[in-house]
Structure 1
Amino acid sequence: MPITHVLTDIEGTTSSVSFVYEVLFPFAALHLPAWVRAHPDAPEVDAVRASSGEAQASTERVIEIVLGWMAEDRKATPLKAIQGHVWADGYETGRLHGHVYPDAVDTLSRWHAEGLVLAVYSSGSVQAQKLLFGYSEAGDLTALFSHYFDTGSGGKREAGSYLAIAQAMDVPAEQVLFLSDVVQELDAAQAAGMVTCGLVREGGELPGHVCVGSFSEIRPRQ
C-alpha cells in the first residue's frame, strides 16, 4: 500500500533532546509551583491527587509530587497538562521559542505541499505539541499537521496505541510511516503494521528499522 500519512515523534526526531531537557523542563520546574498555587482546584491538579493516590494532598504537596515526577521523567498525563499551561505562558510572552530542526521544517513543508497527511505523536500533551510548533523558531508550523496525539492514545511503546491512532486517522496502519529515534517505539509501530524509519542524528543504529540522519533522506513514497 502507498504511504499516505506520516506520523512523527518530536523529541530527538523533529526537535533536539537538549531543547526539551535544557530549556523546556527547567522552565517548567521554575514556574510550575506558581501555576499550581494560582490554580489549586484546577482539574489537572485534582488529577495529580487522583493519580498519586493522595486525594487530600495540599497544594504544596501537589507541587512536591509533580516536581518529583519531573525529576523521574515520568510520562504522567496530569503532569504533562500542567507543564503545557506553564509553557503556554512562556511561549505567549516570548520567553520560549520551539526548536525544530531546519531539515524537518523543510521536509515536512514539502510533504504537506505534496499532499501527505502529517500527524504528531509525542509523550508531551497535545497542547505542548501545538505550542512548540506554533511558536517555533521557524514560525507557526501548526498548519502542516492534521492530527496530534499524546499518551491519551496509549503508551508509545505499545502496539495498540498505533492501531488506535491509525483508526483515529481513518487509514490502514500499512499506509502510515512512523518516525522516531526510540527503537521500542519503532518496534511497537511496526508490530501494529506501520512502516517505520528511525532518526539517528548523532549516528548509530536502531536495529530492525531503516535509519537516516535527517528528514531530507526520507522518501515516504519510494
Structure 2
Amino acid sequence: MQTGFSRIAEALGDPAREAMVSALADGKALPAGELASVAGISPQSASAHLQKLVDARVLSVWAQGRFRYYRIKDDSVAALIETLVDLAARTNAARKRAMPADQLRQSRTCYRHLAGELGVLLSNALVRRRLVVLDGRGGHVTEQGLAWCRAEQIDFDPARQPHLRLCNDWTERVPHLAGPFANAVLARLLETRCVAPHRIPRALRITDRGRAFFDRLGVQVPF
C-alpha cells in the first residue's frame, strides 16, 4: 500500500494526467469532458484518470447538475505543481537551450495569483511599502495593507490564515506572493481589466488600467 509521496508521484506521472492538471493550474474548475479533450483521451478513460488524481488528493471534485467539475485541491498542491513546472522548465531549457515565451515570462497566472516579472514587481512593491510583512516562507497583511485593500476595493478577508506565502517563480528565479491575499489581488486585477488573458495559455497582458494601478504603487512596468 502506498502511503508516502509515491502515490502522488504516480498520480502525476502520466502524460494524460499531467495535461489535465496543467489545464487546471490557473485555478479554473473544468468538467471532465473538457479535461478529456485537453488530454486527447476518451471521456471513459478521463474518468479513470481523474479519479486517480482525486484519490491522491491532487484534485477535488463537486457535482453541479449532471456535470462534475474538477480543480486543484488547494494552495499547497498548487505550490507543488508550480515547483514541478519549475523543475521541468529548467530541465527543458538546459536540454534545448530555450527560454519560455516573453509573454509567459512577463506576466502569467500561477494557480490563482500573479506570477512572472509582473508578479515579482508587485510582490516587491507590497513588501517595500510595508503593505505586507514577510516571516520566513509566509507573512501577513499590515493595517496599512488592509487600508490599501479598501482603497483599491480588493476583497480580502484578514481572517483567512495565513494571509500569504512565498511561491518560487520558475522564470524569475525569485519568490512571488501566493495565498489568499495574492489571490484576492489578482481577482481584482482581472475584474477591473488591469490585466487580461493572452492568447498563450496562462499568460496575461497588462492594460492601461493596469499601468495606472502599478503607478499608484510606485512601480514602472518595463514592458
TM-score, normalisation: structure 1: 0.32
Structure that is richer in strand per residue: 2
Higher RCO, 1 vs 2 (CA within 8 Å, ≥6 residues apart): 1
